[in-house]
Structure 1
Amino acid sequence: MKQPVRRGVADYNVSVGCVAGDAQSYVLFCDFFDRIIEAYHGYKVTSSRQESDFNYNILKGGDDFDPAYVAGCKVCVSRSLDDFSFPTHCSRGERRQLLALAKKAFCQLGEQFPGQLYSMEEVSQRKQDNGFLLKVPSEFQMRTGMARDWPDSRAVWVSTHDNLVVWINIEDHLQFVSKQDDSNIKKAFETVCTQLQRVEAVYRTLRHSFIWKEHLGWVVSSPAEVGTGLKASIRVKLPNMAQHRLLENILERLRVRMDTQSSGVCTVTNAQTIGFTEVELMQLLVDGVKMLITMEKKLEASASIDHLIPAQK
């Protein structure tokens, strides 16, 4: 795959403070959004084509992490539908149309994707829903208008067999989330890939395809997720690496981001969502986490990790 020019991501604590109102915003305000994408992803938006690849079978590793270090993982993929505004600018009527489409799509899937649809009112009344409980809108959703008319037409599809849910009308029209309590992110990725492609096929028959633009890939509301819409994360115990003086440089070279939590447990995520295919992003994350664990073991033994630091990205 021919890759456009990439630049290094200088600040791994950076976040995106804007969202688009619809897909056309990325065209009308390209000078603004292209700069945001470049600053956040270290990726220069050009006329080159963004590629997509859900062939999870070619992913190497992801099911062989040391369980003593990995505490869980999650794969999220967001999608938006043609002819509808994004949740930031979505009218009540549009939102209800989107929910009706989701109901029809999941109903048509039948035994291919068995599950249960819950309205947000039903979800908020449940004390626990397999870790997917959503009680109230976040401050970000309130500020950006995503929570307008809350909880009207917000819902979640909970799969019967797979550890997978699909959020409807939250931060994007659809968000597929697969979580694993163990270290098998390859299984989570396979689950999302399989069901996402089934759902996409049904939406095409309903004449509402997912939004795709050649130079941006899959287009969603946040510039932080355009390209693939993929955000994968692995919770790893890295108490020594979290305090290492070269951590930021190491993360940049591994092309991952990391948030440190209490007790040295860190959440490692893919740094970019554009410029790579879905499988390539997962491979970068898997390889990066393996290297971080190797470094952590060296530090535990009071050994140097200088020889393990990649020479370049």
Structure 2
Amino acid sequence: MSVYLLYVCMLFLYRPTGELHGPMSVGCVAGDGQSYILFCDFFDRVIEAYQNHKISKLQESDFNHDNLKGGDDFDRDYALSCEVSVVRGVDDFGFPTHCSRGERRQLFMLAKKALDQLAEELPGKLYSRAELSQDKEDKGVTVGAPSLSQLRNGVARDWPDSRAVWISKDGTLVVWVNIDDHLRLVTTRDDANIAEAFQCICVNILKLEALYKKLRHPFIWKQQLGWVVSSPADVGTGLRASVRVKLQHLPRHKRLEDVLRRLRLRMDNTDCSEVYNISNAQTIGLDEVGFTQLVVDGVKLLIRMEKRLEGEEKIDDLVPLQK
């Protein structure tokens, strides 16, 4: 199996995807958590190149949301909405790129048990992929057909068998099961209050972590890599914090690339003109609070720069030092 896993990773290394200010995908996948150990010479180099982080010290984790400063005070004329997500791999199972149908069904049953217990405190319901498509009531969640890359790398095998989405009754939390990884928790807010979104993720990922440990299948953790999942683009924290920001002048400024690099942020196009997703460019090297703080501070600075440019003022004095 190990030879097969290495072959899969080599096959998909660095396929370009045409992102505006950075790559959309790392271009390779792992078959299971042990692949990061067996093929560390390969995966370490990929992680270091993609995430611009030297794997040399232990990765830390911090889900104490009280340690985050700000995030509830963006200028709403510019900050439109936000999203925080975290992805997890479950120990003793192959990743979606390589797991068998039986493993995927076991993962589904584990998720159902854990989410049923989570629902005792945060009411919600687990919908299979078919139920979500057939239910006429708008849940605000759409699971589209597998992408071309998912078809190629094996994630879409047996689709849509054992794929599901858990949705909290109050709409604050969505949990994707076997869609692109074992688990992905997502919180979105229309008020751009990323502090509240981060708190929701922190509280519920810790509860699920405890429930999975109780079920004898903890989330995969490696000391130097942190939380390990199928994509090297997500190892470390598995966390993505993003804010949709309206920017008219800054995206055309000659210093933008330099500013984003120094802030350790990425800027992606959305389906709306002059609206961009600002998110953390890395997931390893800092803890969860640290990466969310980068986004909070960075978005505030970008909005400040935009306001300067609106008044036809220079922004050179606002360009930060390397974070």
TM range (shorter): over 0.9
* 1:28 is aligned to 2:27: no
Counterpart secondary structure, 2:162: coil
Q: In structure 2, what is the equivalent of residue 293 of structure 1?
A: 303
Which ranges in structure 1 are unaligned for 5 or more consecutive residues?
1-10
Name which of 202, 220, 232 aligns with 1:193.
Answer: 202
1:240-279 counterparts in 2 under 5 A?
240-261=249-270, 262-279=272-289
Q: Which of the residues 60, 64, 68 maps onto 1:59?
A: 68
Distance 1:199 1:219 in 2: 16
Q: What does residue range 213-232 of structure 1 map to in structure 2 within 5 Å?
A: 213-232=222-241
In the TM superposition, what are the counterparts of 1:146-157 in structure 2 within 5 Å?
Answer: 146-157=155-166
Q: What is the aligned length?
A: 302
1:188-237 deviation per Cα after TM superposition (whole angstroms, max 9, x unaligned) = 11111111111111111110100000000000010000000001111000
Equivalent position amino acid for 2:246 in 1: K
More displaced 10-residue stretch of structure 1: 14-23 or 219-228:
14-23
Equivalent residue number for residue 7 of structure 1: none
Is 1:38 aligned to 2:42, yes or no? no
Partner of 1:4: none
Q: CA deviation at 1:127?
A: 6.0
- Please give the alpha-carbon distance, in whole angstroms, between the structure 2 residues aligned to 1:221 and 1:24: 11
Is 1:137 the counterpart of 2:146? The answer is yes
In structure 2, what is the Cα distance between the partners aligned to 1:249 and 1:127? Answer: 47
SS of corresponding position for 2:296? helix
Q: Give the Å deviation of 1:128.
A: 6.7
Calculate the TM-score normalised by the size of structure 2.
0.90
Is the CA contact (8 Å cut-off) linking 1:106 and 1:113 kept in structure 2?
Answer: no
Is 1:87 aligned to residue 87 of structure 2? Answer: no
TM score, norm. by length of structure 1: 0.93
Cα distance in 1 between the residues matched to 2:135 and 2:117: 27
Give the match for residue 302 of structure 1. 312
Deviations 1:267-311 (A, max 9, x none): 111011000000000000100000000000000000000000013
Inter-CA distance 128–223: structure 2 relative to 1 (3 Å threshold): farther
Q: Do the aligned partners of 1:258 and 1:269 also contact (CA within 8 Å) in 2? A: yes
Secondary structure (helix, strand or coil) at the match of 1:307 reads helix
What is the aligned partner in structure 2 of residue 312 from structure 1? 322
1:10-25 to structure 2, matched below 5 A, reads 12-14=21-23, 15-25=25-35
**Aligned mates of 2:174, 2:292 — CA distance in 1:** 20
User: Which region of structure 1 is more displaced relative to structure 2, 159-168 or 65-74?
Assistant: 159-168
Match of 2:218 among 201, 206, 209: 209
Cα displacement string for residues 41-71 of structure 1 (whole angstroms, at most 9, x for unaligned residues): 110112x210000011111111100010011
Q: CA RMSD in A?
A: 1.4
Quick one: percent identity of the two aligned structures?
60
Distance in 2, matches of 1:197 and 1:98, equals: 18
